[in-house]
Amino acid sequence: MKQIALYGKGGIGKSTTSANLSAALSDCGLDIMQIGCDPKHDSTRMLMWGEWIPTVLDLVREHGDANIAVSDAVFTGYGGIRCVEAGGPEPGIGCAGRGIIATFQLLQRLEALYGDVIVYDVLGDVVCGGFAMPMRDGYAQEIYLVTSGEFMSLYAANNICKAIARLSRRTRSVCSLAGVICNSKNIPGEEALVREFAERVNSRMIAYIPRANIVQVAEVNQRTVIDYAPESEQAEVYRQLAREIMENTTYTIPTPLEMHELEELARSHLTV
């Protein structure tokens, strides 16, 4: 079983990338599970044709952990993809990572973590105990960073590199950096910047996803690009990403940049 996690700054397009990746993998005949690990609980919505599925944390609050069945928490979407949303606390109350912890405990108890590929879609702005759990506790073995050329997006990606490097020092650690995905914001010099960033942190850019209007059109129609516009160029970009990930055998321990190095790197590519 291949277990991968996509980490990145909020709003960078992790969920869109994850959902289209899962859809592309399912079209290859693979058994896919996608777990949304973000309090917004919108990771799987396009795979579920717009449906907001119940979150594990809401189910636990309402019914108690012992009273939840697989059918309560796991929903089947596009291509037979099994979809789960961890959820989060009420605004202003509790820890946002608690939903992730509750989700893994529940899915393990129910023996529901199986398939050819499990895709974890994880918020990467703050790598606290809960959000780090997929890589810290051996669930996600391959970490992919989703970033654009925006400085704060790169800053978040660099922080995730720090977390991976720190966790790698544990004797039981199995997680490593598998690559960087550039989800473009159409910034001049962006592709070269993200490519060099990936190399500087001891990895490589495995995919460049151009900004395309079809992504927004598909989303307002409550579907992934793979589902809504399978013959489009953008759909082929996601299929190529799926191929790269399935064929990838290059995993590294990252070497995160110091702040001044990250700033100098950004300045060297982003000019007026």
Q: Which residues are catalytic?
A: 9, 14, 40, 125
Largest CA distance in the chain: 58
CA distances, 227 to each of 42, 55, 201, 215 (Å):
17, 24, 34, 11
* Cα 84 to Cα 90: distance, rounded to the nearest angstrom: 19
Strand-pairing partners, residue 176, are 142
First to last CA, the chain: 46
Contacts of 80 (CB under 8 A, 6+ apart): 26, 31, 32
Q: What is the CA radius of gyration of the chain?
A: 18
Please choose, from the candidates 42, 32, 35, 34, the residue with its C-alpha nearest in 3D space to the C-alpha of residue 10.
42
* Cα 259 to Cα 245: distance, rounded to the nearest angstrom: 29
Strands 82-85 and 75-76: antiparallel
Q: What is the DSSP string of 84-120?
A: EE---PSTTSS-TTHHHHHHHHHHHHTT---SSEEEE
Question: DSSP class of residue 252?
Answer: B
